Amino acid sequence: MIFVKTTVMLLFLLPDYKSESVIRVFYYLESGLGTEKFNRLFPVFFTDNGSEFRNVDAMELNSEMLYRTNVYYCAPMASWQKPHVEKNHEYIRYVLPKGKSLDCYEQEDITLLMNHINSTKRRGLGWKSPYELVEEDDEDMQALFELLKMHPIPADEVHLTPELFNK
């Protein structure tokens, strides 16, 4: 998941590629943040056409059958519709090369990776990191950061190579 304005990315380690796993993340976020914060933070989701995103009703509606978000799909083979996601995939691949199994990783490892990526200063962001673009008084984002154990890594400690995990 990525916030377009700041390019802050959220990463979740899923046990499989099933829609139930994605839906569990939605419920986790909504229950941890509360419905109102969830609605403000995630009014819209753009996603690809992967089978894990097929159960639109379960993503859009919460347990009370109230809308919590709106889900839209990008066109197939249209990576230009989600350029920030593609750039963040590059950052992930610096640490986890394509084809490497994720079986030895825990969510804690993925959170560490997420924190390093979100702390990376970028030319397209005016040489700021995604974390630096989040307003300190943005209570919704601060609640999300607390829930997901997200925090900036000092610039001289950002490490985006496979040695980040030493696994």
Nearest to 6, CA basis, from 120, 142, 130: 130
Are 105 and 164 contacting, i.e. CB atoms less than 8 angstroms apart? no
The Cα–Cα gap between 98 and 119 comes to 22
Type of residue at 16: D
pLDDT tens-digit series, residues 80-124: 666 677 788 899 999 999 888 899 999 999 999 999 999 999 998
pTM for this predicted structure? 0.90
Are 95 and 158 contacting, i.e. CB atoms less than 8 angstroms apart? no
Nearest to 9, CA basis, from 128, 129, 100, 102: 129
Given this model, what pLDDT does residue 167 score? 54
pLDDT tens-digit series, residues 146-165: 999 999 999 999 999 999 99
List CB contacts of 158: < 8 A, sequence separation 6 or more: 116, 119, 120
Tell me how far apart the 2 most distant CA atoms of the chain are, in Å.
Answer: 46
